[in-house]
Amino acid sequence: MKKGNNSNGSINSPFRYAGGKFYARKLILEHIPHHSCYCEPLVGGGSIFFAKEKVKRNILNDLDEELMNVYRFIRDEPENLIRFLEGKPAKKELHHYYKNIFKPESELDRAGRWYFLNRISFSGIMNNQNCYFGYGDKFSMRPENWPRNILRTSEKLHNVELYCEDFESIIDNAPDGSFLFVDPPYFNADQDKFYTCTFNYEDHLRLRDVLRRNSNRLLFLLTYDNSNELWSLYDWAAEIHEREWNYCINRTDDQKTKVKRKGERYKGREIFIFNYKSNTQPYLWQSAK
């Protein structure tokens, strides 16, 4: 596929992703320092990567094999993914079929199934026991717009390194001077409802340890739920700030509760943890040109 000339700009994540940082993007981008290598060891939906400009080297990783398989197809074979999705309406019956009956026979089948379910499931939750139909024509991306979404994302992912490894290995092997945006599952949350790959307490401690031992050679911005224990675990960090932002749950059909969500507004409250001085200064990364 020939890549366009606008592959470095800001776009939205191609996915619906529970716990993503879509509504916190502006706050986070204000604190990103100068860098030429960008790394997300727990990329999830990748809202921050897609919102910022690409740099010379970009590394995205997640332990979720199904998620990273979709990323690879969007980057390398977008036309095949589009062809798989062609003509499939966002219907509850098809959601049931692809969730419970369809048996993928290839990596393309896996990628197409995942993308289709993600786009029409409530809040993009892909954990099978909580993956409910949640599509509405007025508030969800329509299937006829999926090809454009995939092609735009493919351009942004051009030359991006994609991995499916444990976060500790990715951080330990990140090049000196890299900037890491790290967005783990919440410390105090019932993750089993949302994610197929979850963190236990030992994983949170491993994350603390690997960031600490690499802190003299890497820059990182870490986002977490506001917990007294986290303040203690990261008391060695350069700065910890409380942050708050508005977000909205768009109206969709929630098949579990049988109610319609009507754009309810909420407050996002988290802490941002830095190992550098976080003076607000927009767009200081080194563009990949």
Question: What is the percent of the chain with per-residue pLDDT over 90, rounded to a whole number?
Answer: 67
Q: What pLDDT score does 199 carry?
A: 87
**Structure-token pair, residue 17:** 């992703």
In tens, the pLDDT along 61-118 reads: 999 999 999 999 999 999 999 999 999 999 999 999 999 999 999 999 999 999 999 9
Contact criterion met (CB below 8 Å) for 14 and 153: yes
Give CA–CA dist 220/269, Å, rounded.
19
CA 160 and chain centroid, separation: 15
Q: Stretch 192-206: mean pLDDT, rounded?
A: 81
Q: What are the domain boundaries of the chain?
A: 22-274
In tens, the pLDDT along 230-261 reads: 999 999 999 999 988 665 444 444 444 545 45
Closest CA to 125 of 44, 258, 17: 17
Cβ partners under 8 Å of residue 254, min gap 6: 122, 132, 134, 260, 261
Contact criterion met (CB below 8 Å) for 258 and 214: no
Give CA–CA dist 116/183, Å, rounded.
25
Contact criterion met (CB below 8 Å) for 190 and 125: no
The pTM of the whole model exceeds 0.85: yes
- Rounding to the nearest 10 degrees, give the CA dihedral for residues 236, 204, 163, 275: -10
User: Which secondary structure element, helix H or strand E, spans residue 108, and what is its range?
Assistant: helix 107-120
Strand partners, 219: 179
Q: Which fold has domain 22-274?
A: Rossmann fold (3.40.50)
φ, ψ of residue 12 to 5 degrees: the values are -85, 155
